A and B are shown apart, each in its own frame.
Chain A
């Protein structure tokens, strides 16, 4: 039986009762969304890996604590947000979301080495990826996180406001600003 049609909440319930396959389905379903959220926020692949592991460990450990009344993605991204903030504040106090820069452009290099891409496709993809990275990099930390929570987590403004402990209006403003800046940066690749 496939888990494709199963809701996140149902899968969590099954995992809490001991069904490991349900957890694997959940992991596959949300792996990349969480990964992009973390990696693009912290801009460091190693840190993102570390946080990724922590987030999913917490999901596994607290499976029975999860209340089905809350959306799984909201819960998942709340954990991710908290882990990311904790990591920045405690493990690396000299760093901040504002000052974190992007290291090696992990998006770009693998694209150019993709044997299935022709030279032109690779070049376009490289340019688009580079533009995307640069555009996200130029967002403020708050705008970047709000935008990533929305596009990766499919979260509402209210949910983002709750996760980031911000007001509804502030969150809405951050999202508008983020989209405006990204739109300008990505204009030529439309």
Chain B
């Protein structure tokens, strides 16, 4: 390169000459350009005023967050309180009667010959074990007690005629009804199991195992791990390997955060070109607007992310 500075600086009058000559230059941008620019500026201002659009930019994002945090916090607290109400009985009491109070959880009573069992309300059982044993008068007392204690029935429990009826009930219990376990049929199942020593040990933990899947979704809901949130975080941070893993696990690619932003939108906001490419390759919707109607393409253009804008356009962004 020949950018070697001259040996000395001469008096600097060139700028003045240039400016004098430029002042005589009548060359102007087209009037159509001026009109287009001013019209566009007015349009942008109107959009900002109407939609509070300036979301992508730091100061405005803070404003947007201020608008969103109250419902987000209250929603989270409400969800936590609800989860606590639902889950506390599970941990405090092995019977967890409320978990099985729904109609779906109740075993259908196909056998009308067992009215004393089906008539016993589950909630009463949870409150009073002695009532349970007295109302379930067709059960042998040892079997009922061991069930109420949540322990496996003792091996070698005496066979009796009274145990035959509960066994018939257990025979009627389909896998579905076992899965829809409730304390009311727990007593019956345990009573039936008590008639047979080898089966007793297998049957005793089964109701407990049947409890867990019903509580599991709530437990999962209370856990901080959310695959969709992890996907958004990976997209936002440009963690392409992590993103790829989550995408391969079929995590919902269009899941949105509290501001309605998809993983693609977050990757665009952060200028994560590779993450954008990976998301688009997995079929992310390039036109998925956030809660304020801003599209990823608008964000890319506003941020002068030309590579991302080009990728979005190739994917059909408008």
Contact = CB atoms under 8 A, between A and B. Distances in A.
A132 B22 contact: yes
A88 to B, nearest CB: 14
A20 B43 CA distance: 9
B19 interface: yes
Interface in B30-44: 30, 32-34, 36-38, 40-42, 44
A110 B26 contact: yes
Interface residues of A, number: 56
Interface of A: 15-16, 18-20, 23-24, 27, 31-32, 35-36, 39, 45, 48-49, 52-53, 56-65, 82, 86, 106-107, 110-111, 114, 125, 128-129, 131-132, 142, 150-151, 170, 172-174, 176-177, 179-180, 182-183, 186, 189-190
Majority SS of interface residues in chain B? Answer: helix
B271 to A, nearest CB: 13
Interface string B2-30: 01111001101111011111101111111
Contacts of A129: 21, 24-25
Interface of B: 1, 3-6, 9-10, 12-15, 17-22, 24-30, 32-34, 36-38, 40-42, 44-46, 48-49, 54, 56-57, 59-60, 301-304, 306
21 contacts: A16-B48, A18-B46, A20-B38, A20-B45, A27-B37, A31-B29, A32-B28, A39-B27, A53-B33, A60-B45, A61-B301, A61-B302, A62-B303, A65-B56, A125-B24, A170-B3, A177-B3, A177-B6, A186-B14, A186-B21, A189-B17
Given A20-B45, A177-B3, A60 B18 contact: no
A176 B9 contact: yes
A174 B3 contact: yes
A158 to B, nearest CB: 17
Given A39-B27, A106-B27, A151-B19, A173 B14 contact: no
B29 A49 contact: yes
Residue among B22, B56, B60 facing the most chain A CB atoms (10 A cut-off)? B22
A10 to B, nearest CB: 16
B49 A82 contact: no
Given A57-B40, A132-B22, A176 B28 contact: no
B41 A60 contact: yes
